[in-house]
Amino acid sequence: MKKFFLWVLFICLLASAFGYILYRYNRMRAENQKYSAPTNINSIEIIDVNELESRAASVIPRGGFDYIAGGAETEQTLRRNISAFDEIDIVPRVLRGVDKPDLRTSVLGIDISLPVIIAPAAAHGLAHISAEAGTARAAAEVDTIMAISNYASSPLRDIAIAGGGAPQWFQLYLSKDDEFNREIVQQAEKLGMRAIVLTVDAPIGGNRFRDARNNFKFPLELPNVAKKSGDTKGQGISAIFAAAQNSFAFDTVQYVKSMTRLPIIVKGIQHPDDADVAIAAGADAIWVSNHGGRQLDGAPASIEVLPEIAARVNKRVPIIFDSGIRNGTHIFKAIAAGADVVAIGRPVIYALSLGGWMGVVSLFDYLKQDLSRVMTLAGAQTIQDIKNTQLRPKCMLVRCAEL
């Protein structure tokens, strides 16, 4: 009997030891799988903005990087957003006395140091521990506007504080819950946001192959939508989108306007008729964008549809433009094609990952220098001069003559 109890004791001790080892293994595994965003704060050297993507890929964890960098399906539209700029030529002017071009401009009554603002993008915390607070500080430093995503990884209040009173816009993804919509719009207004960006091109999430292959789940909270989407940490984008409104019409713009005194910018316009509808519904500005190629793969590049939309709008409201901006030449072409200001998304997040707020400042310093160079070479002293610059599709030189 004594030997039997010794064996039972031995087995219990062995089981306890095994259980403890298993517990430690699972805990270590969980710790090793904890998302580790970069933490460094430093200026960065930039020769070509396109190179920031590969540099960021080396410091952002794989799932987070692919979520940021990826587009819908085979990413044809994502690539075309950038390559389409190569199909447009700037016709430069000379003998115009250009010297130290003036990059300053304004949009919706807000003066900014250059015609480039920060586009709304989800979860900056995937790229850097400072998250949107770091980006907001950089926007204030360079005197531009930051548009803040509904799906930010920092609370709106923290982002507003980090911005130190600099102009910010709030991007709204409508919820199916009217009370929640009014609550978050009113919060943005109380925090001093200067406009509401109503995004209408994302009734559902695009089919993003990279996220599916990685089985990507958000490794951090999205606090501004947690009230409706629940604990967003560990959820995929489709689950989070489930709480969002998925039907937009003329009265959607009117509905948002009824909530606030702030200007309403309708984001996601890709057709002239939709610009007309948005303006008729009360939009104070429109935002030409295909969501950076993250929604409908096979849609045209944003720069390809901009001239026709700008002609239809005919200066009735300001036009913001995004998708594919990577350098001063792109900025110049977009403004010459009809935009009032352009917005950049991915390059900002890449710069944030490489140097925190100082990295984003480095990016804007580069864009200022690059745009100034292009303006000088093209013969444009002011932003208005850019708008008066002639663009010529490359096909006019060769292929169109053959058609």
Amino acid identity at 390: Q
DSSP state of 315: T
Q: Is the dihedral of CA 69, 73, 75, 77 positive or negative?
A: negative
CB-CB neighbours of 323 under 10 Å:
31
DSSP state of 271: S
Q: Can you tell me which residue has the tokens 């590049």? A: 301
Q: Would strands 341-344 and 319-321 be described as parallel, antiparallel, or unpaired? A: parallel
Q: How many residues does the chain have?
A: 403
Q: Would strands 341-344 and 391-393 be described as parallel, antiparallel, or unpaired? A: unpaired
State the Cα–Cα distance between residues 168 and 146, nearest whole angstrom.
Answer: 5
State the Cα–Cα distance between residues 139 and 163, nearest whole angstrom.
Answer: 7
Q: Of these residues, 124, 128, 291, 330, which one is catalytic?
A: 291
Q: Which residues lie across from 117 on neighbouring strands? A: 343
H or E element, residue 348: helix 346-378
Which residues does 85 contact at the CB level (< 8 Å), separation at least 6?
A: 303, 324, 329, 330, 333
- E strand residue ranges, 184-330: 196-199, 264-269, 285-288, 319-321
Helix (H, G, I), strand (E, B) or coil at 403: coil
Closest C-alpha to 91, from 379, 385, 395, 382: 379
Residues 352-390 as b or e (16 or more Cβ within 10 Å = b):
bbbbbbbbbbbbbebbbebbbebbebbbbbebebbbebe
Active site residue 271: no
At 387, give phi and psi (nearest 5°).
Answer: -60, -25
Annotated active-site positions, please? 291
